[in-house]
Structure 1
Amino acid sequence: MDTQQTTSLLVGLAVIVLLARLLGALARRCGQPAVIGEVLAGVALGPTLLDGALSDALFPDTVRPLLSALAAVGVAVFMFIVGLEIDAALLRGNGRLAVTVSLSSMLVPCGLGMLLALYLAGDYSTGDKQGLVLFMGVAMAITAFPVLARILTDRQMTRTPLGAVALACAAIGDVLAWALLAAVVAISSPGGADQWRMLLAVPYLLVMFFVLRPLLRRLAARRSELRLTPTLFACILAGLLLSAAATEWVGLHYIFGAFLFGAILPRTGTEQLHAEVHNRLGQMTGTLLLPVFFLVSGLKVDLSDMDTGGLGTLALIMLVAVGGKSAGAIAAARLHRMPLRQSAALATLLNTRGLTELIVLNVGLQLGFIGQDLYSLMVVMAVITTAMTGPLLSWIIGRPRENDPPPAAGAPERKPGTVGTPA
């Protein structure tokens, strides 16, 4: 890099960090997750406002590839943290209900999303109709597990029956969503000389689950108190980066490898280690790298030319996203005799999409499943569905009060998603 590139990069990063922090804090004061403000910070610096003049001045073309590289690292670390949060213990006592609601709340919006894609293919197709249809189905089925967990924590609901079910449903949904997206990428990837690499995904998964995972469990079991030494921290970082690189090389996306490495790390006896990993990785990722990702995502959002046709498409997207997720969740919850109000609250929580949706949309844009116009509308949907969660939840079950009694003393404390994930 020359002096001008270095200066532009450092100044741009400072602007990103401060603006994301400012708008994130403003969003929190308005009762919204901080991720709403951080996403809006990225959109504000993009071409939607002032025809991109501000972004062109702060982030010239010579700097943007560097920002994209930093964003990729941030997303990889974030996906590792998400995988680390996925814990089978969340299903304890709620397994059947959580599985049923999770499947229903994914299948209904997924099917409706595919039908919507068929309807929109004439105006928004990028030439890969199959990829568009499959991708839109997955994008409509997403629930943001980390943001949902933070909302529950802020409302003191993590140890309530409703909060436990919501966390379990979101955890199952996350795993299913990434598996479905991986399948879409594999099915829709264009053929070529390197297509044979996709076959290596199977031995990669076998090694991760049946070789590396048992090995890590045995190593963890040998030490009663496993602490995060510099050497161990370096090994964890190297592992997540190598796993991400492996899935990228075989033809999947690097986010799957990072997520899977976090998911296979042992849970039993490593609680302190997990907390330390969160503290080390979470602060830098949440303060610097993820805001860079929001900026890179925002630079691709252009709503300046939206007309009535675009508004109509956005209305259809919202109807499918919110209606499909809500109908699937409420129907399954009612089958298990959950009260109507609790079912509606659960459906509202599962409509939270947040950063997870942005990551999925960026994968679709990068791989050519969707174009910039549809990408922009889907980002708006992700912001709206996340922003409406808090107000709707307050309307359905009431606002949390400071003088509410604390949870029972014997209840296990579980606060997933509170460290290193956007609030």
Structure 2
Amino acid sequence: MTSHQNVELLLGLAVVVVLARLLGALARRLDQPPVIGEVLAGILMGPTLFHGAISDHLFPTDIRPFLSALATVGVAVFMFIVGLDLDSTLARGTGGFAVSVSLSSVLLPFGLGSALAFYLMGHHTTPDKTAFVLFCGIAMSITAFPVLARILTERGMHRTTLGTVALACASIDDVLAWTALAGVVAVTGAGGHDQWHILLLVPYALGMVFVLRPLLRRLIATRTSPRLTPTAFAFVVAGLLVSAGATEWMGLHFIFGAFLLGAVIPREHTTALRSDIHDHLGRLGGVLLLPVFFLVAGLKVDLSHLGTDGLGDLALILLVAIGGKFAGAFLAARAQGMPQRQSAALATLMNTRGLTELIVLSVGLSMGIIDQELYSLMVVMAVVTTAMAGPLLRWIMPRRLIEDEAARGAVSGPADGAAAAAALDEDEPDAVRPAS
């Protein structure tokens, strides 16, 4: 890098960090997740406004590869934290309730999204029609576990039965969605000259789960201090980068290697250790690396030439994404005996997509499965479905109802669907009414 490029990069990063922080704070003031403001910061600096004059001035073409490199690290760190936060025990307390709701809230939008893909093919180019159909189905099925968890925490719902069920459903959704995306990426990316690398994915995953995880468990058991030392933190960072690079080399996207390493870190007796890892990596990612990812993602969003056909496609995408996800979760919850109000709240929460959706869309764009125009429309869908969750949830579940349920001490999930309905149905009319 030249001295001039260094100056441009450093000043540009400063602008990204400050703007993301300001718009994130504004989003919070408007009762929205900060990710909404951070995503909008990236879009505002992209080609949508003033035909890219802002981005061309602040981020010349010659420094964008460096921004993309930082964004790659940021996404890898984020996916590692998602895997680290994954708690397989969440669904155990809900019996088959969370599993059935998750399957319904994934399969219905997946089917509708796949059907919509056949229509979208007429307006958008793709080199692989099968991958395009599957990818559209996956994009409609996403639920953002981190954003959902933050919404529940900020509204005091994380210790209620509804909050526990929502977290369990979202965690199962995450596993299903990432597994499906991994399959699509593996099939799509297996056509290169090194396609034999893909055969190593299964033994690699098995080794991580059945070899590395037990070794980590034994190593943690021998530690005298539960806290994270600088040396241990260095090995964690190196490990997530190596795992991410390994899956990228095998023909799978790097996000899966980072996610897998986070998921195999034992949860037993590691609360303080995982908290330290989360804090160290989360601060670096949240303040610098993820805002850079939002910028890079925003630079690829161009709505300046959105015409009638584009608006029609966007309306269909929103209808399928919102309707499919809501109907899938709502109908399954009602079939299990959950009251109407709580079923609607659960379905609303499952519609949050946030940063998780942006990562999925970035994978599809980078692999050429979707074109830039469709990518832009689906980014809008991700923003809309995330932004609507807070206001809808406040309307469906007023704070007084949340406080009443929390006061009943519903900390752990129900044993089954009937227990969930009983826990949620106490003194609660089976109807959805606007908050007073």
Classify the TM-score, shorter chain.
Answer: over 0.9
Aligned-pair Cα RMSD in Å = 1.7
Q: 1:223 to 1:137 in 2, by over 3 A?
A: same
Deviation at 1:284, TM superposition (A): 1.1
Q: Which residue of 1 aligns with 2:219?
A: 219
Q: Which residue of 2 aligns with 1:10?
A: 10
Once residues 228 and 216 of structure 1 are traced to their aligned partners in structure 2, the CA distance between those partners, rounded to angstroms, is 14
Once residues 169 and 224 of structure 2 are traced to their aligned partners in structure 1, the CA distance between those partners, rounded to angstroms, is 32
Residue identity matched to 2:59: F
Once residues 42 and 79 of structure 1 are traced to their aligned partners in structure 2, the CA distance between those partners, rounded to angstroms, is 20
| Contact persistence 1:318–1:381 (CA under 8 A) | yes
Matched, 1:139 2:131: no
Once residues 116 and 358 of structure 1 are traced to their aligned partners in structure 2, the CA distance between those partners, rounded to angstroms, is 19
Once residues 14 and 148 of structure 1 are traced to their aligned partners in structure 2, the CA distance between those partners, rounded to angstroms, is 29
Once residues 173 and 402 of structure 1 are traced to their aligned partners in structure 2, the CA distance between those partners, rounded to angstroms, is 24
Which whole-Å deviations, capped at 9, do the CAs of 1:80-129 have from their partners, x for residues lacking one?
Answer: 00000001221232131111101110000001111000111121122221
Matched, 1:347 2:347: yes
Judge which range, 224-233 or 326-335, deviates more.
224-233
Q: Which residue of 2 aligns with 1:385?
A: 385
Q: Which residue of 2 aligns with 1:97?
A: 97
Once residues 142 and 195 of structure 1 are traced to their aligned partners in structure 2, the CA distance between those partners, rounded to angstroms, is 28
Judge which range, 42-51 or 326-335, deviates more.
326-335
Judge which range, 335-344 or 91-100, deviates more.
91-100
| Contact persistence 1:75–1:359 (CA under 8 A) | yes
- Match of 1:212, SS state, is helix
| Contact persistence 1:224–1:269 (CA under 8 A) | no
Q: Which residue of 2 aligns with 1:199?
A: 199
Once residues 408 and 212 of structure 2 are traced to their aligned partners in structure 1, the CA distance between those partners, rounded to angstroms, is 38
Q: Which runs of 4+ in 1 moved over 4 A?
A: 400-412
Deviation at 1:188, TM superposition (A): 2.0
- Match of 1:268, SS state, is coil
Judge which range, 117-126 or 177-186, deviates more.
117-126
Matched, 1:60 2:60: yes
Q: Which residue of 2 aligns with 1:50?
A: 50
Once residues 163 and 402 of structure 1 are traced to their aligned partners in structure 2, the CA distance between those partners, rounded to angstroms, is 10
Q: Which residue of 2 aligns with 1:278?
A: 278
Identity %: 66
Which whole-Å deviations, capped at 9, do the CAs of 1:383-410 have from their partners, x for residues lacking one?
Answer: 0000000011111111469987965789
Once residues 402 and 327 of structure 1 are traced to their aligned partners in structure 2, the CA distance between those partners, rounded to angstroms, is 23
- Match of 1:382, SS state, is helix
Q: Which residue of 1 aligns with 2:415?
A: none
Deviation at 1:300, TM superposition (A): 0.1
Q: 1:114 to 1:302 in 2, by over 3 A?
A: same
Map of 1:71-220 to 2, 5 A cutoff? Answer: 71-189=71-189, 191-220=191-220
| Contact persistence 1:117–1:136 (CA under 8 A) | yes
Deviation at 1:186, TM superposition (A): 1.3
Residue identity matched to 2:157: M
- Match of 2:338, SS state, is coil
Q: 1:53 to 1:86 in 2, by over 3 A?
A: same
| Contact persistence 2:160–2:410 (CA under 8 A) | no
| Contact persistence 1:91–1:98 (CA under 8 A) | yes
Once residues 399 and 44 of structure 1 are traced to their aligned partners in structure 2, the CA distance between those partners, rounded to angstroms, is 34
Once residues 346 and 14 of structure 1 are traced to their aligned partners in structure 2, the CA distance between those partners, rounded to angstroms, is 39
Judge which range, 108-117 or 125-134, deviates more.
125-134
Which whole-Å deviations, capped at 9, do the CAs of 1:9-67 have from their partners, x for residues lacking one?
Answer: 00000000000000000000001000000000000000000110000000001100000
Once residues 406 and 159 of structure 2 are traced to their aligned partners in structure 1, the CA distance between those partners, rounded to angstroms, is 10
Q: 1:410 to 1:387 in 2, by over 3 A?
A: closer
- Match of 1:122, SS state, is coil
Q: TM-score of the superposition, structure 2-length normalised?
A: 0.92
Once residues 126 and 313 of structure 1 are traced to their aligned partners in structure 2, the CA distance between those partners, rounded to angstroms, is 16
Residue identity matched to 2:289: L
- Match of 2:191, SS state, is coil
- Match of 1:52, SS state, is helix
Q: 1:317 to 1:403 in 2, by over 3 A?
A: closer
- Count residues in correspondence: 413
Residue identity matched to 2:380: V
Q: 1:409 to 1:116 in 2, by over 3 A?
A: closer
Residue identity matched to 1:381: M
| Contact persistence 1:225–1:269 (CA under 8 A) | no
